[in-house]
């Protein structure tokens, strides 16, 4: 067993786990943070995406021991029950998600992008979301939601989704 101490959503969390435990397993099984999903288990789908020290990471590919001492953000830490993060609000308002399985990973990939680049163009958004697969819907509304959230975060007015992609 390996002792691990990481900061998750601003809170120091500790666990003792086998050395082969992935960050995804640690988050879901030890900390009951189930927003990150087990999809493909090989890093292709992005359902397990979390933010580690500011970067979007596939938690199924990272060992828990590699997260020792690092800062992790999961979808549960993005907002609270009373107030959505602007990304969550934009995704809801634009109907960018259907079943929601991919949602946490997509939103956290978008957050990592907007934290680094508050004014991305469509190509930068597409690139940031490229590691997240969605089987329910197209990606156009997701891109529009990220554009709208970026505007909100910059303090600019929202734009109708019909005007964004033109």
State residue 151 phi and psi, 5-degree precision.
-60, -45
Pairing of strands 49-52, 71-73: antiparallel
Give 30-47 pLDDT, tens digit per residue: 999 999 999 999 999 999
Best CA proximity match to 135, nearest among 166, 109, 98: 98
C-alpha to C-alpha distance for 78 and 102, rounded to whole angstroms: 16
pLDDT at residue 166 tops 60 = no
pLDDT interval class at 164 (50, 70, 90): very low
Q: Quote the CA–CA distance of 109 and 2 in Å, as a whole number.
A: 29
Q: What is the pLDDT of residue 31?
A: 98
- Predicted TM-score (pTM) of this structure: 0.92
- Residue 157 banded pLDDT, cuts 50, 70, 90: confident
Residue 140, pLDDT score: 94
- Cα(105)–Cα(97) distance, rounded to whole angstroms? 12
Which two structure tokens, joined as six digits, stand for 86? 């602007």
Residue 126 to residues 2, 13, 39, 106, 144, Cα–Cα distance (Å): 38, 33, 21, 11, 11
Q: How confident is the model over 3-36, as pLDDT tens digits?
A: 999 999 999 999 999 999 999 999 999 999 999 9
- Is the confidence at residue 113, as pLDDT, over 80? yes
Provide Rg for the chain, Cα atoms. 16
The mean per-residue pLDDT over the stretch 144-164 comes to: 81
pLDDT at 58: 98
User: CA angle, 104 as apex, 99 and 109 as ends, to 5°?
Assistant: 125
Domains belonging to the chain, first-starting first, are 2-75 (3.10.20.30), 86-164 (1.10.150.120)
């Amino acid at each position: 067993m390996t002792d691990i101490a990481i900061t998750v959503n601003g809170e120091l969390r500790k666990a003792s786990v086998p050395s082969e435990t992935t960050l995804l397993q640690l988050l879901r099984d030890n900390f009951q943070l189930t927003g990150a999903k087990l999809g493909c288990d090989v890093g292709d789908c992005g359902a397990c995406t979390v933010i580690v020290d500011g970067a979007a990471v596939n938690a199924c590919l990272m060992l828990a021991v590699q997260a020792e001492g690092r800062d992790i953000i999961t979808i549960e830490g993005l907002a609270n029950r009373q107030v959505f993060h602007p990304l969550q609000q934009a995704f809801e308002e634009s109907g960018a998600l259907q079943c929601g399985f991919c949602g946490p990973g997509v939103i956290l990939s978008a957050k990592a992008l907007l934290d680094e680049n508050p004014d991305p163009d469509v190509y930068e958004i597409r690139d940031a979301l490229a590691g997240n697969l969605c089987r329910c819907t197209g990606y156009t509304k997701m891109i529009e939601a990220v554009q709208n959230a970026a505007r909100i975060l910059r303090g600019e007015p929202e734009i109708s989704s019909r005007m964004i992609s033109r």
